């Protein structure tokens, strides 16, 4: 939690009560509001309804961060017993990696109460975005390692896919992970497929500038591309990116 974030007075008590009543849960976070400071000290809030279904959280945390870190309360015995700690080499994804580790040994939950306000700073840049993608993709590789599936060879030193062929291989590896889970039944099959489809879509969007329209042609013929749920706004934004990719490719 940063000094300019805002925690409600009831947050700690509510989360402590939740942990006392749910002994199988190792981490509890919550819904939250993000905000930017506008002119004349006015704030514009945006409600973030994080996932609250336990099985969905467990599946989604394999591939994306659905936990508000600054609003989280953790059982320290979970960390000590399993020797879990921050990976300081992942400067932009160390919290995601922490949840990945805890997710393997305990349940993680979000409560529906809004007990935290998170300030958004105007510090975004293409360089920072590249670092975020790099570190998140490193964590994704660690997740696949737990299934004994190696995807690291598909990426270059900046953790970007090397080619469209590697994107196709990645899709096959994701399908392999889904097949493994159907046998082990460790994760809810429906939620895992949804999470896997979102992962493939994220890689598609990340690399659209790099590989251009040819990547789109490959992606739309993949089974998981049909399972992605996008809002109207997201569809419009994606259409714009696809249209641009038809005439422009990074480095061309």
DSSP classification of residue 39: G
Which residue is listed with tokens 């979970």?
Answer: 78
DSSP assignment of 145-175: HHTT---GGGB-TTS-BS-HHHHHHHHHHHH
Q: What confidence score (pLDDT) does residue 39 get?
A: 47
Beta-bridge partners for 155: 161
- Measured CA to CA, the distance from residue 147 to residue 161 in angstroms comes to 20
- Measured CA to CA, the distance from residue 252 to residue 247 in angstroms comes to 10
Beta-bridge partners for 46: 34
**Residue 167 class from Cβ within 10 Å (0-12 exposed, 13-18 middle, 19+ buried)?**
buried
Q: Are 30 and 51 in contact (CB under 8 A)?
A: no
Q: What confidence score (pLDDT) does residue 252 get?
A: 52
| Residues lower than pLDDT 70 in the chain | 1-5, 37-43, 121-126, 248-252
CA–CA–CA angle 134, 65, 35 (5° rounding): 100
CA–CA–CA angle 241, 243, 244 (5° rounding): 65
Where would I find the beta strands (DSSP E) of 83-207? 107-119
Q: What confidence score (pLDDT) does residue 190 get?
A: 97
For 1, other C-beta atoms within 10 Å of its C-beta total 13
- Measured CA to CA, the distance from residue 50 to residue 65 in angstroms comes to 10
Q: What confidence score (pLDDT) does residue 110 get?
A: 97
Alpha carbon of 182 to those of 106, 142, 186, 226: distances in Å? 21, 20, 8, 20
Q: How many residues does the chain have?
A: 252
Q: What confidence score (pLDDT) does residue 122 get?
A: 63
Alpha carbon dihedral 245, 246, 248, 249, in 10-degree steps, equals 60
Would you list the domain boundaries of the chain? 6-119, 147-247
Q: Are 116 and 7 in contact (CB under 8 A)?
A: yes
For 26, other C-beta atoms within 10 Å of its C-beta total 24
Can you give the pTM of this predicted structure?
A: 0.90
Q: What confidence score (pLDDT) does residue 251 get?
A: 55
- Confirm or reject CATH 3.40.50.1100 for domain 6-119, answering yes or no: no
- Measured CA to CA, the distance from residue 72 to residue 7 in angstroms comes to 11
């Amino acid at each position: 939690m940063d000094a300019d974030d805002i925690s409600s007075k009831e947050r700690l008590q509510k989360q402590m009560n939740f942990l006392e009543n749910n002994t199988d849960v190792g981490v509890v976070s919550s819904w939250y509001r993000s905000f930017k400071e506008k002119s004349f000290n006015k704030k514009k809030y945006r409600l973030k309804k994080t996932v609250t279904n336990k099985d969905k959280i467990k599946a989604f945390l394999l591939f994306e961060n659905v936990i508000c870190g600054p609003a989280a309360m953790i059982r320290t015995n979970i960390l000590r017993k399993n020797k879990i700690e921050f990976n300081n080499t992942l400067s932009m994804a160390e919290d995601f990696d922490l949840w990945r580790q805890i997710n393997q040994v305990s349940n993680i939950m979000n409560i529906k109460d809004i007990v935290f306000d998170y300030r958004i700073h105007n510090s975004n840049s293409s360089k920072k975005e590249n670092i975020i993608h790099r570190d998140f993709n490193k964590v994704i590789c660690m997740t696949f390692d737990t299934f004994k599936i190696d995807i690291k060879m598909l990426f270059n030193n900046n953790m970007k896919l090397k080619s469209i062929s590697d994107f196709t291989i990645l899709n096959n590896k994701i399908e392999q992970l889904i097949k493994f889970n159907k046998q082990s039944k460790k994760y809810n099959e429906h939620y895992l497929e949804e999470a896997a489809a979102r992962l493939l879509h994220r890689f598609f969007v990340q690399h659209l500038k790099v590989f251009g329209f040819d990547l789109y042609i490959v992606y739309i013929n993949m089974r998981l591309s049909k399972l992605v749920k996008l809002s109207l706004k997201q569809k419009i934004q994606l259409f714009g990116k696809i249209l641009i990719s038809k005439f422009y490719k990074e480095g061309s």
